[in-house]
Amino acid sequence: AENLLRKSEMLSALGEMAAGIAHEIRNPLTALKGFLQLMQADSASNQQYLGIMSNEFNRIELIINELLVLARPHAVTFEAGSVTTILKDVIMLLETQAIMNNIQLIHSFELELPDIECCDKELKQVFINIVRNAIEAMPDGGNIYISAGLVNEKVELTFRDEGKGIPKDRLEKIGEPFYTTKEKGTGLGMMVSYRIVQSHQGVMKFDSELGEGTTVTIQLPIKQ
Ligand code: ADP
Ligand code: MG
């Protein structure tokens, strides 16, 4: 009986999700169709229409790419891995983008952290999503502090930014599919990240102070 209940819950969650995706993808598609019709009627403005169309195509691509992480098209293998190695990778990857936005990525990692059991590709995606959000929260620049240490027998990571922060009553919305406050956001990054952290037996939480900044904390079990 418990299984059946879980199944029906899963099916209704899936239905909601499908409805959300359909809606998000229908909007840009409707726009694209409209512009195609305009272009057929008015070839003089075609350049402008092409620009808008290309933006809408990019948006569909972004949504599909973020969802594909969740669909796990790649082989997910959990192996012994080091979070500091993954974090260093991510810092290297995003350093240029940070600097272009007047942002410094400052890290402090405890030496000799124990390995965790992980899919490093997926965890990397989580850390990228979090640091990107931090960068996007600081339009005027600032610092992002990234730490990794051992706390209560778990590997604990923190990502602290000095950005705009999140209102208390919005904290619980983060991670809901398509919840975004950004004009070009998809609202999928944190949903995907929560899922991945969960599949690693870990927890992720947000603390934030409006106008002060946001801290994302992730705890992951160490490899037995
Ligand atoms: P997106 O980045 O596409 O908006 P996410 O799922 O990554 O989607 O984030 C959802 C929302 O959570 C963001 O639109 C933003 O409002 C909020 N958020 C996430 N991280 C931060 C942060 N570090 N500072 C402020 N707001 C944040
Ligand atoms: Mg994001």
Cβ 156 under 6 angstroms from ligand 1:
no
pLDDT digits (tens, 9 = 90+) for 31-46: 898 988 888 888 888 8
Ligand 2 mean position, distance from CA 137 (Å)? 10
pLDDT of residue 1: 63
Give the closest residue (by CA) to ligand 1 atom 13: 180
Ligand 2 mean position, distance from CA 132 (Å)? 6
pLDDT digits (tens, 9 = 90+) for 100-145: 999 999 999 999 999 999 999 999 999 999 999 999 999 999 999 9
pLDDT of residue 177: 87
**pLDDT exceeds cutoff 70 at 78:** yes
pLDDT digits (tens, 9 = 90+) for 143-167: 999 999 999 999 999 999 999 999 9
* Chain mean pLDDT for the chain: 91
Rounded Cα–Cα distance for residues 39 and 45 (Å) = 7
pLDDT level of residue 73 (50, 70, 90 thresholds): low
Cβ 190 under 6 angstroms from ligand 1:
yes
Q: What is the mean pLDDT of residues 70-85?
A: 84
Cβ 137 under 6 angstroms from ligand 1:
yes
ipTM strictly over 0.95?
yes
